[in-house]
């Protein structure tokens, strides 16, 4: 059985991947880069937080913003958009299992 800590680590891995993809994508807008950067910061914070519930809520909110930004950015590559959506899904799964 996967623990909450493992699910948060998985979400962090996926947010870090999404951030790397967004930074490397020449079509990604500065807004998308900023929003996904914040998402990655929240993921890092969540993996070190003593208050798992609050950390997951903050991470989910940042993930929701990243998802919307990725879907709205018309210049971003499909693979980059998918990396952000995958990271968003990872935190949704972590929250559902909390």
pLDDT in the model for residue 1:
63
Tell me the whole-structure pTM to 2 decimals.
0.93
Q: How far apart are CA 62 and CA 86, in angstroms?
A: 14
Q: What is the domain range of residue 13?
A: 4-96
CA pair distance 94, 75, nearest whole angstrom: 30
Structural domain count, the chain: 1
pLDDT-flagged residues of the chain (< 50): none
CA max distance for the chain: 40
**Residues 81, 58: Cα–Cα separation, whole Å:** 21
CB-based burial label for 77 (10 Å; 0-12, 13-18, 19+): middle
Q: Looking at residue 13, what is its pLDDT?
A: 96
User: pLDDT at position 17, please?
Assistant: 98
CA 67, distance to chain mean position in Å, is 8
pLDDT at 30: 97
pLDDT at 93: 87
Task: Give the tens place of pLDDT for each residue, 86-97.
Answer: 999 999 988 887
């Amino acid at each position: 059985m996967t623990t909450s800590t493992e699910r948060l680590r998985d979400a962090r891995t996926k947010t870090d991947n999404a951030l790397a993809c967004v930074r490397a994508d020449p079509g990604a807008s500065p807004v998308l880069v900023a929003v996904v950067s914040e998402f990655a910061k929240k993921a890092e914070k969540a993996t070190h937080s003593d208050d798992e519930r609050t950390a997951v809520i903050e991470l989910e909110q940042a993930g929701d913003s990243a998802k919307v930004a990725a879907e709205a950015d018309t210049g971003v590559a499909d693979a980059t958009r998918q990396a952000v959506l995958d990271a968003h899904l990872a935190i949704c799964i972590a929250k559902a299992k909390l």
